[in-house]
Amino acid sequence: MNKTQPYSLFSEFDINLFKAGKHYRLYEKLGAHLTEVDGIKGVYFAVWAPSAKAVSVIGDFNYWLEGEHPLFVRWDGSGIWEGFIPGVDKGTKYKYKIHSHHNDIKTEKADPFAFYCEKPPHTASVVWNMQHKWKDTRWMGSRSEKNRLDGPFSVYEVHLGSWRRAEGNRMLTYIELADELVAYVKEMNFTHVEFMPVMEYPYDPSWGYQLTGYFAPTSRFGKPEDFMVLVDKLHQAGIGVILDWVPSHFPSDAHGLGFFDGTHLYEHPDIRKGYHPDWKSLIFNYGRNEVRSFLISNAVFWLDKYHIDGLRVDAVASMLYLDYSRKEGEWEPNIYGGRENLETISFLKELNEEVYKNFEGVQTIAEESTSFPMVSRPTYIGGLGFGMKWMMGWMHDTLEYFKKEPIYRRHHQNDITFSMTYAFTENFMLPLSHDEVVYGKHSILGRMPGDEWQRFANLRLLYSFMFTHPGAKLLFMGGEFGQSGEWNFEQSLDWHLLEYDYHKGIKNTIQALNKLYRKQPALYEKQFTAEGFEWINYGDHENSVLSYIRKGNSPENRLIVVCNMTPVIRENYRIGLPSAGKLKEIFNSDDTAFGGSGVSNKRIKTENIAWNGREYSASLTLPPLGVVVFEVKNEVQDK
């Protein structure tokens, strides 16, 4: 094998951008790139290691021997080592052997910019180029319409390794998922899927949240282009793809980013900012320009090369606060004496500005659990610039409420209505995510009180309340058919439960709710603004009944929603209405097709009887533990 030859893909402009933290396409320069120099095929390697005094590429092509193929350090102080190695081909396994100036330390690292990695527990990078002929032109051309904030946004959260398994507990491949998962998501009427992290990670119990290969889809399920096929098939089926993205921390595995060149290169050198006590992991140095370029380039990479439609940014709260999970004396205030991490705030704003500027129709979503202001507001008015934020308060309060026996719910009406006091301070997504069905919390169904019928009725009630509450929706896999046990990442979901009518009824309920949500503009056009919601009565504590109006852009787009949080059938239940007309029942969670008892309403004419502070009203029959949704037809429309 020929020795390394001097070669570079970097221009002076690239270097200046990199040093300034403004190079957002680093994956086109750093890493391993198949190329041809003077008619000779090989690979250009480039790695950032400013504290190194020597860097070699070691791999199966040179028997993993240090010094056989050294890289050349650039003269411009960028800290980039590079070179062209003739004869190296696609599929070659490699790492970087880095000899540090710092205490003469030697590290052996996977390529931070590798497009493909060995299947864990092996840790080498693999030379690769991604070749896929995309067939999603129609989706990409209409993505702005499909992904807009005033459109339906119902997300199915998926852990690829445990959604469904083949015989012998074998995980499905990307290609198999491209058939089975796509068909299922389409059948269930979800608008989007969200994949828990697909970037390469070494440790299965981390569920993908401890990344070592930020630019490589995990090889557990196939090759990079196989993952492209999965995304492509979802797009062709009209389904958007969101990826969990983890810029908040990374593991200290020997082959990973930690202590990369014998120094704290990617992580903050101060343990108070660079070490995460909860997850025993390392925290990026958001104030270092080159690290910001690395992270923003990574976000851009998935949107660019894999046609991803959105990024759900993990653990934003842990990034925003210097005292997150730290005791007194374990953190240092910012320059103004506050607890906010100013470097993180600056980084997140820059990230969102770059994403929204360059990719039409995408969304970024913050998993942020505190009251930090303006997370989903534009940066030009002082916000962080995210498109949406998870509504963790709604999730917590709602699950706590539904755990209670219905007889006690009258004492907790404020818990279930409280979310509406702040529902429009952000663009909220309502999440019932994987975090809510692990570590002894029980499944969502497992939280529901009562006998078997009541437990399933309560679950239908919860989902119906969720889908008629303002905000986008997210449901973790298994929840859509009432998974009984907690989620176990080492095995398939309990699909056999669909042999039972009650579980089949939950599945039918979610199908119908997704269809209702997509069909009714009143449920999505103003889902993030106060103009889209109006209480009829939130104060009927004694009966544990809620009633409200959902509104779309057109005055005709109005829905009446009534929730009966008890197992008592309520006949002749009167609610006030904004105008005369007729009510047509269009959804009832007590439908027999869902496993309900079939208590329903025929077409109801309003009466000129004042009620709930309104001139008109109607008398309804409320099903037990049920939600009823009515279309409003005024007198003019009815003629």
32 in Cβ contact with 45 (< 8 Å): yes
DSSP state letters, 160-202: TTTS-EEGGGEEPPHHHHHHHHHHHHHHTT-SEEEESP-EE-S
Show Cβ contacts of residue 535 under 8 Å, excluding neighbours closer than 6 positions.
420, 547, 548, 549
Judging by beta carbons within 10 Å of its beta carbon (0-12, 13-18, 19+), is residue 98 exposed, middle or buried?
buried
The C-alpha angle 376, 337, 291, rounded to 5 degrees, equals 55
| 34, containing H or E segment | strand 31-37
Candidates 314, 585, 590, 591; catalytic one: 314
214 in Cβ contact with 112 (< 8 Å): yes
Enter the DSSP assignment of 419: G
The values of phi and psi at residue 113, to 5°, are -110, 15
Residue 212 CA to residue 210 CA, distance in Å, equals: 7
CA distances from 106 to 53, 98, 109, 216, 322 (A): 10, 6, 10, 25, 32
The C-alpha angle 103, 105, 111, rounded to 5 degrees, equals 140
b/e per residue 576-612 (b: at least 16 CB within 10 A): bbbebbbbebebbbbbeebbbbebebeebebeeeebe
Residue 333 CA to residue 318 CA, distance in Å, equals: 15
Residue 222 CA to residue 219 CA, distance in Å, equals: 5
Residue 57 CA to residue 66 CA, distance in Å, equals: 7
CA distances from 364 to 74, 188, 242, 389 (A): 36, 24, 9, 9
DSSP state letters, 609-625: --BTTBSEEEEEEEPTT
82 in Cβ contact with 29 (< 8 Å): no
Which tokens in the block code for residue 72? Answer: 């050349």
Judging by beta carbons within 10 Å of its beta carbon (0-12, 13-18, 19+), is residue 639 exposed, middle or buried?
exposed
CA torsion angle 252 257 262 263 (round to 10): -90
CA distances from 113 to 200, 206, 501 (A): 11, 21, 49
Query: What is the amino acid identity at position 140?
Result: M
- Among candidate residues 165, 204, 158, 123, the one with its CA nearest the CA of residue 312: 158
b/e per residue 7-42 (b: at least 16 CB within 10 A): bbebeeebbebbbebebbebbebbbbbeeeeeeeeb
Residue 411 CA to residue 73 CA, distance in Å, equals: 69
Candidates 267, 343, 354, 367; catalytic one: 367
Which tokens in the block code for residue 228? Answer: 């492209």
Active site residue 367: yes
Crossing angle for the helix pair 452-468 and 392-403, to the nearest 10 degrees: 150
Residue 253 CA to residue 202 CA, distance in Å, equals: 8
The C-alpha angle 488, 489, 495, rounded to 5 degrees, equals 65
Active centre residues (catalytic): 314, 367
